[in-house]
Amino acid sequence: MVAQVIDGKAFAAKLRAQVAEQVATLKEAHGITPGLAVVLVGEDPASQVYVRSKGKQTLEVGMNSYEHKLDASTSEEDLLALIDRLNNDPEVHGILVQLPLPKHLNEDLVINAIDPAKDVDGFHISNVGLLGTGQKSMVPCTPLGCLMMLRDHHGSLSGMDAVVIGRSNIVGKPMAQLLLGDSCTVTIAHSRTKNLAEVVRRADIVVAAVGRPEMVPGDWIKPGATVIDVGINRIERDGKTKLVGDVDYDSCAEVAGAITPVPGGVGPMTIACLLANTLTACTRANNLPEPNGLTA
């Protein structure tokens, strides 16, 4: 068996096109343009690349992009004051504070200062609680992208056995909640799970988000299972730097029914879902019907 490759890059392009179409309709019918504000504190190189990409894609789908670049020495008071201004700006429907923040800033405090209705990352404690209790929330982008790809591949996920490897607040926990919401039987496993191979081997769906390069080998995968690899790890191999996921792609692809590659799998979906979340936040703020198929 050779696994079907789930092309996240193509899926993300299709999703962005859907968002662009809905944004154009909003403008034409209601004179409303969704706006996304991204706040970058400091000069972390990876964060700078990410923020540039977010800004470019935001403009490409017809939204307004507001970038706020602050010095690494910015005080907590000044950052919170900016967030307060954005919370009260009717032109801003989504707010994202790029992580990680400099060490002198309290990330939890900063994230929870964002208006939950504008929290397009889905990290605010209110959104975490709403998601956990099955209520309408802003859904974290990476798990949302994984769910969209799973739904697209399988149709219904009802009754499927899913194992999420990783228990982070950003991916592992919300991913489990989303799978539960689609009526999967869900196990959250992690690096300290006993008999991890056996736990993974029974799953129809494996979501690997543990942050360890190529940790999951092919002999852990149930034949025909769907493997969603969230990991993005830089390793040195044969004198070159290479991007790999949390699963050993070659051996897993020989056993799985479908698999996401790294790069080109989950990664492109994250920004596409950020745009979808901004559109959703805008429609909710204006008491308009939510766009179909763009959230959980």
Q: Which residues are catalytic?
A: 54, 98, 121
Q: Is 271 annotated as a binding residue?
A: no
- With contact defined as beta carbons under 8 Å apart, do 20 and 276 qualify? no
- Sign of the dihedral defined by the CA atoms of residues 252, 201, 245, 111, in that order: positive
Task: Name the pairing type of β-strands 161-165 and 185-189.
Answer: parallel
132 membership: H or E segment, kind and range: helix 125-132
Q: Is 166 annotated as a binding residue?
A: yes
Burial 33-71 (b: 16+ CB within 10 A, else e): ebbbbbbbbbebeebeebbeebeebbeebbbbbbebeee
Q: Is 31 annotated as a binding residue?
A: no
**CA–CA dist 276, 38 (Å, integer):** 15
Q: Is 47 annotated as a binding residue?
A: no
Residue list for the binding site for NADP(+): 166-168, 232
Residue list for the binding site: 166-168, 232
